[in-house]
A and B are shown apart, each in its own frame.
Chain A
Amino acid sequence: MSFFRRHGPGWWIRFFGLALLDGIVIALIPTLWEQRATVALVCILVGAAGINYIFLSSRTIPIRWLVPGLFFLALMMLWPIVFTVYIALTNWSTGNFITKDQAIDRLTEGGAYLIETEDSPLAAMYLYRDPSIPTTRLDPIADLKLLVVTDLGEFFYGSPRLRTAPAPDEPELECCVSPRVDEEHAARLGAESLAELNAVDEDGDGIPETIGGHAKLRLLDIGTVSGVLDQLVLDVPGRGQARARTFSSAVLAEQRFVYDRARDALIDRLNDDALCPAQGASFVCAERRVDPGWREFQGFDNFTRIVGDERIRTPFLRIFVWNVIFAAAVVLLQLSLGMALALTLDDRRMKGRGLYRSLLLIPWAAPGFIVILVWRGLLNPSFGPVNNQLEARWLADLSRSTWPRWLVAVALVACAAVLIWMASGMLRRRRWFATFFSLVGAAVVAWFVYKILGPGFAVRNVGIPWVQPGDWFWSKVAVIVVTMWQGFPYFFLICTGALQAIPSEMKEAAKVDGASPFQVFWKVTFPLLMVGIAPLLIASFAFNFNAFVNIFLLTAGGPPVAGYAVPFGETDILISFVFNLAVESGRGGQYALAAAATFFIFFIVATISAISFRFTRRLEEIYGSL
């Protein structure tokens, strides 16, 4: 009894946890040994030994608390990063994703390359059926078994499949003799394995009448399979494929390739034993690559391709530039909108400030994937409410108006310039400031007006082509506006909090000294706000730099740009480009190239982080003492 009392629950958790872990590890050893996964086995054993040491030694108590978390950190964060480096240095892709030995196995033993020639051996074939199912409802595939007996006396018995159906990973062979053996031995072995399946040979002719509950198909019932007979095959690992030819005979399609280890080449039996040498990462027959190839260490090839190959470099640079513009524009817009709102609503005399805050929280708090998909509907060019409203209110009028278009355009731009000039003049009493902003603002407005009224744009018919299908300009506007919509509440909340932290004495002092409200803002409030917000701006930039969902679900990167070695679209950012390269690409998963491109993102994010790290030298104060 005292034993139970001496040890608290912590001890018991430790004891049972270790026992469970060691049990699992021990259970794994035979499996891994069978799979020849030596590296994995060593890693697991060393890891398990380390964990046992940590939890049993009394000198490692602080580490114990970290081990569970560190384990997953190492397995699911650190190792993937290291592995990404490795992948980037190989040619890993859809056609080259297995090792060379596996590739040779597939080429010389799998069902991918089989040939049926005049010399292919014939075999006797017998059909067996499930007698419990009425003949009229007999499924020629599911309820049927095939027995193939070769001239060598080999027996192959299993479920057939249709030649057109995809091959299963594990061939459905229940009894077989393989690899090739001499005739007598094969016959004995075959009969023995059939006997294991409860085969009953009543008339003693060597062909069983029933095998494991399946009865030999009578000639009468053979009509049920006649429709699919020429499609019926039985995969025989190592020997090729038995293909039904008549009701009672099959032909053995044999492997097309034989591997010649000495010359490191495949021998192509279809073309007079021509030699297919290993070149690069695959065998090449008469200048044609044989799939699958294998993965190989290639050094910095992928990186040099990204930097050197014109048809990859140009897309990469374009995407990079757009990515930076996108993230910067989004962060600036989010900040300005959020801060302006925070300043506006930061008045203690206002009623319902809490309600404003609760409701303004929504865009930021709502699940990102949902709001993006909703926006995609709202911005649909042909049916979307945004276009419907715009068209009903303004665009239709605009397109019907009898004014010359250039006049409308000039008027709009001039109005905008004057408005912006006035507004920025109010914010800051400096003429150069107002002039600069009104010029930039007028240019932006002019661009929009040009896009709406300019040539090549039929307002009347389609409305504004936002997303899917979208025009490059409006798609970019759409992703920026939607991302801004999603993130401005964050800055609103942050600024509201920061504003309340600014002591009101400072503002009062400035006012007493005769500062105008705008001077108070620019000289007191704004600098104090930025002290706290600058690090968050950088973090927000890093976050939006990888705003995958916003791009992928809203525009899918589109509209697509044609004519390059890699698929990409006008609104693609690096991460969505990499994702498409690895997952969605029509050219197959180019994992290695994607991993190499990931590295550029790693690098950029690391640079941003380094900058923010310098910015927040006061890290320890923010997060508490280290």
Chain B
Amino acid sequence: MAASDPGATTAVELTRVGKTRRHMSPRRYFREIGWRHLVGLVALAFALFPLAWVISSSINTVDTLTTARFIPKSTTFNNYAKLFEGCSWDAGLPPFKCANTTPMPIFLWNSVKIALIAATIQLALSALAAYSFARLRWRGRRIGLIAILLIQMFPQFLAFVALFLLLDTLGQTFGTATQVSLWVVAVPLAAITALVALVASRSDWQRSAKRSAYIAAGVGGAVLAWALIGQFADTVWPFVANYQVTIFPRISLGTHTGLVLVYLGGAIGVNTWLLKGFMDSIPTSLDEAAKVDGASEWDVFSKIIVPLARPILIVVFILTFVGLYNEYILASVLIRDVQQFTYATGLALFVESEYAAKWGQLSAAAVLGTMPILVIYWTLQDRIVGGLSGAVKG
């Protein structure tokens, strides 16, 4: 109740803050605090009523827009169930398939997959670049930083026509995936893994490194054995003999790989600045000490900077992930096949085809797509808000 701010200790403040609600007359309470709650509640109502309405209609038995009311007469989870109608488990990726015209689970899977992959790679590329800007000294570093900021001011999606044609052109060369039998990849890979582990076990590596090497050897050996059995007894393991592994994916219009590559164009940008700023705040004495002990740049990066920068890395990853999850314009230009749609383009398609009639399902899909993002924001609220106001305080 009382002010916890040690700075606010003037006489005026003391008399005012010292009074808790119990000491205030209702009239004074309203004049000083109550009206604030009133305004806050009105603002909350304005901010929340669309979401509240959607949650209510997603569990309403009546699933059309026309007859829906704010407080449902009876509730049901049918709308959620209907989203998964026509879908069944299936081998491969995604681990299910859907027969209906607007397969929401597939859209969600696609979105999360694309955003996860692109955000991970973006983060890695960005962190590498930030390390160079923060720790290494080279000519043109300052100009490079400003150039990044300037390029970033042009939104990438404005060039969607060029990106469309670029992917179309790339498709002429990379339009077919390179596939080989599983064992062609698995046998050499497993052999190399086992060999490396063997070498490691005889060397003077640290214990933890040796332990990882043993695990790798175990996995490699198992894959090797599995693949060999499959190769020589393909009646027993037809899966191994017939399973094709894509070693180089298709890159063209309408492929997720193409979309992810396009998203990677935004890897070096604002995030690099953020990460660089954080890395600047890590004392250089740490890496100097490590270098005296014989650490390479890579050791400094991977063993000192990355662990210390983990909080900002997580925030940047999440923000990138959410940004990519929300991306609509490039996804809608570059992907045309409904089964490949992201959640954003898929939901828009659903709305386009059957609006008022399936309002309940649309609401369920909206809740399904919003909740994970809100949970992420709420968990990281303080960090994100801190980041925002940090920019202002500067």
Contact = CB atoms under 8 A, between A and B. Distances in A.
A485 B329 CA distance: 21
25 contacts: A10-B299, A40-B173, A72-B264, A72-B267, A76-B156, A76-B262, A84-B162, A344-B40, A347-B32, A349-B17, A363-B47, A369-B347, A373-B351, A383-B65, A383-B356, A384-B65, A497-B388, A500-B389, A508-B12, A532-B394, A533-B392, A548-B329, A583-B332, A618-B394, A624-B281
A13 to B, nearest CB: 8
Interface in B119-170: 124-126, 128-129, 131-132, 136-138, 141-142, 144-145, 150-151, 153-166, 169
Contacts of B373: 365-367
B199 A1 contact: yes
A385 interface: yes
B95 interface: no
Interface of A: 1, 4-5, 8-10, 24, 28, 31-32, 35, 37, 40, 61-66, 68-70, 72-73, 75-81, 83-84, 87, 92, 337, 341, 344-345, 347-350, 356-363, 365-371, 373-378, 380, 382-385, 485, 488-490, 493-494, 496-498, 500-501, 503-505, 508, 511-512, 532-533, 536, 542, 546, 548-549, 552-553, 575, 578-579, 582-583, 591, 594-595, 598, 601-602, 605-606, 609, 618, 621-626
Contacts of B79: none
A583 B164 CA distance: 10
B244 interface: no
Contacts of A356: 40, 43-44
A360 B272 CA distance: 29
A609 B344 CA distance: 29
A383 B360 CA distance: 13
Contact of B377 (A78, A345, A350, A365): A365
A598 B47 contact: no
Contact of A87 (B48, B126, B162, B392): B162
Given A69-B272, A370-B369, A498-B389, A598 B159 contact: yes
A501 B125 CA distance: 34
A362 B298 contact: no
Nearest to A546: B155
Given A32-B173, A79-B166, A504-B7, A10 B377 contact: no
Interface in B306-354: 322, 325-326, 328-329, 332-333, 343-344, 347-348, 351
A8 B369 contact: no
A595 to B, nearest CB: 5
A78 B151 contact: yes
B68 interface: yes
Contact of B160 (A10, A24, A69, A579): A579
Contacts of B370: 366-367, 370-371
Name which of B199, B272, B344, B373 has the most chain A CB atoms within 10 A of its CB. B344
B243 interface: no
Given A363-B47, A579-B333, 17 more contacts: A8-B296, A24-B248, A40-B169, A65-B131, A66-B268, A81-B162, A83-B165, A357-B381, A366-B374, A367-B344, A374-B366, A548-B328, A582-B161, A591-B165, A609-B150, A622-B391, A622-B394
Interface in B31-56: 32-33, 36-37, 39-40, 43-44, 46-48, 50-51, 53-54
Given A1-B202, A511-B12, A367 B355 contact: no
B342 to A, nearest CB: 9
A69 B263 CA distance: 12
Contact of A501 (B159, B200, B392): B392
Contacts of B356: 377, 380, 383
A347 B36 contact: yes
A602 B296 contact: no
B5 A348 contact: yes
B166 A80 contact: yes
Nearest to A621: B394
What are the 5 tightest A-B residue pairs by CB atom distance, in nearest-first order?
A: A497-B389, A76-B265, A10-B298, A80-B159, A65-B132
Given A65-B132, A72-B261, A377-B355, A368 B298 contact: no
Contact of B391 (A84, A367, A536): A536
A88 to B, nearest CB: 9
Contacts of A24: 248
Contacts of A575: 157-158
B256 interface: no
Given A73-B265, A367-B370, A87 B161 contact: yes
Given A28-B173, A35-B173, A341-B43, A579 B273 contact: no
B205 to A, nearest CB: 8
Contacts of A552: 328-329
